[in-house]
Amino acid sequence: MGTSPLAYDRDGSEMNVERTVAVALAARSGDASWDEVRYSASVCGVSAMGRVEAAARGAGVADVVLLVDSEATPRDTRVFHEASTYIAGASSRRALAARLAGHRVLAMCADLPLITAETIGKLLQAAEAHPTATLVAAGGALAVFADNVDPVKALSQAISRFGGRPLGDPGAGAWSAADPDDLRRLATPADVSALERIARRRKLASLAALGVIVVDDERTYVDERVRVGAGTRILPGTHLVGTTEVGRTCTLGPDSWIEDSAVEDGAVVRYSVLESARVRERSTVGPFAHLRRQADVGPEARVGNFVEVKAARLGRGVKAGHLSYLGDAEIGEGTNVGAGAITCNYDGAAKHRTVIEDGVFIGSNVSLVAPVTIGRGAFVAAGSTITENVPPQTLALGRARQVLKERSAAPSGEEGA
């Protein structure tokens, strides 16, 4: 026989969670507009429903069930997806009873965005020590039922009185979390900002403990799933969103939005927007650059002010300093892209790629009409429109010849200028 799964509390003690089922309760409030967003509203980048499930699983509970008061109750489908079990109201009492038979039941409101694995672990540990007591946390939003309690009846009652203290008032089995904020519910739209501040403060404190430097914790916004390496400095107004990963000794901000992106060791991002992009080690982005989906910059590259990159890879040491659009492109190492240069990637029906090989010089205000390849070491003169491939080590000019003519008289309207 295999060993039973064990969850460990911070003091090193262990508890068996093999026979525990966590039931997350979700119900409508009567405010239709709020109900539509309540369980998917983001708090520090994760919904309350997502945090409840993650906390239960973090405490070692493998089986997490969602119980709703009606099939019409909105839920966060990103969390309880089709692989999860949905049980809705009295019509599924027998299915719920079969699911819970022989298990300890951990009941949780699904609107607890600050709940932690540590708090749930402490409650389960207390239940292990008092198996005949139903433990109800302060506020009635979290409980563990005793073995002699009918869990289906208790859950049905809880979901019918969801707006108050659904799991009851603490009595002889009262239990309090070390941090009362863990049990605060997302009951109204006004709670979002209040709980967001608490969650954000916790996240920034955890980063500081890892050696991350947060210059202004009142103006820094980091989502729960974001990871940041030691020695990185985060300046005010910076938002790190979604699944962003940041390496060591980077400088981020001020006033940057970095979403679902990767920023590698030693990179700098100032006053810029990154969306599903990658900035490789020791590269510099900004100010006022925009890296869109599948932008891949660096290493040791430079993307300057008002440069937009989309679905393009910039090799080592590429410099695009100002006012350029680089879309659907492959740009080789050591290439210089002049001010105002663009890749013309869309012909009105389809996107096409531009390939620029290593060591190319692209002059200012050059238009590269894709599909086109610029060979290694080529030089494209300023103001050119390039529509055909350029061989390696050649000079390409694609502009109208300059014409000079004498003026016989001042044009009308200039006399009084």
Whether residues 186 and 198 fall in one domain: no
Determine what percent of the chain is predicted with pLDDT higher than 70. Answer: 90
Q: For residue range 46-90, what is the model confidence (pLDDT) as tens digits?
A: 999 999 999 999 999 988 988 888 777 888 877 775 445 555 555
pLDDT band at 15 (very low <50, low <70, confident <90, very high): very low
**Local confidence band at 3 (pLDDT 50, 70, 90 cut-offs):** very low
Claim to verify: residue 81 and residue 219 sit in the same structural domain: no
Question: Among the listed ranges 199-213, 358-372, 390-404, which one has the minimum average pLDDT value?
Answer: 390-404
Cα–Cα distances in Å, from 227 out to 207, 243, 245? 8, 8, 5
Give the domain-ending residue among 128, 160, 190: 190
The tally of domains found in the chain comes to 2
Catalytic residues: 322
Mark which of 190, 210, 236 sits at the end of a domain. 190
pLDDT tens by residue, 341-375: 999 999 999 999 999 999 999 999 999 999 999 99
The stretch 247-262 carries a mean pLDDT of 98
- More confident: 290 or 31: 290
163 falls in which pLDDT band (50, 70, 90)?
Answer: confident
Which tops the pLDDT comparison, 85 or 208?
208
For residue 262, give both structure tokens.
């990767």
What pLDDT is recorded for position 299? Answer: 98
Give the phi and the psi of residue 155 in degrees, each rounded to 5. Answer: -70, -40
Task: Report the CATH number that the domain containing residue 100 is assigned in CATH.
Answer: 3.90.550.10
Q: Is the pLDDT of residue 14 over 70?
A: no
Residues 135 and 252 in one domain: no
Q: Is residue 292 part of a domain?
A: yes
Of the ranges 133-137, 276-280, 406-410, which is most confident? 276-280
- Element housing 156 (H / E): helix 151-160
Q: CATH number of the domain at 200, please.
A: 2.160.10.10
Q: In whole numbers, what is the pLDDT of the chain averaged over residues?
A: 89
Give, as one character, the DSSP assignment of residue 252.
E
Q: Is residue 21 located within the same domain as residue 155?
A: yes
Asked whether residue 203 falls in the same domain as residue 149, the answer is no
Indicate if 30 and 163 belong to the same structural domain: yes
Range of the domain at 341: 193-396
Tokens standing for residue 260: 């679902």
Q: Is the pLDDT of residue 394 over 70?
A: yes
Which of these ranges, 11-20, 264-273, 295-304, has the smallest mean pLDDT?
Answer: 11-20
E-strand stretches of 170-277: 174-175, 213-214, 221-222, 227-228, 233-234, 239-241, 245-246, 251-252, 257-259, 262-263, 268-269, 273-275
Residues 390 and 242 in one domain: yes
Residue 410: per-residue pLDDT: 64
What is the pTM (predicted TM-score) of this model? Answer: 0.87
- Judge if 197 and 179 occupy the same domain: no
Residue 413 lies in a domain: no
Same domain, 237 and 264: yes
> Using CA atoms, how far apart are residues 326 and 363, in angstroms rounded to an integer?
14
Could you give the C-alpha distances from 26 to 49, 100, 355, in angstroms and in order? 9, 18, 53
Question: Which of 141, 171, 190 marks a domain boundary?
Answer: 190
108 occurs within a structural domain: yes
164 shares its domain with 232 = no
Tell me the average pLDDT across 267-281.
98
**pLDDT confidence bin for 397, thresholds 50/70/90:** very high
Q: Is residue 161 part of a domain?
A: yes
Q: Residue 132: what pLDDT?
A: 85
Residues 201 and 150 in one domain: no
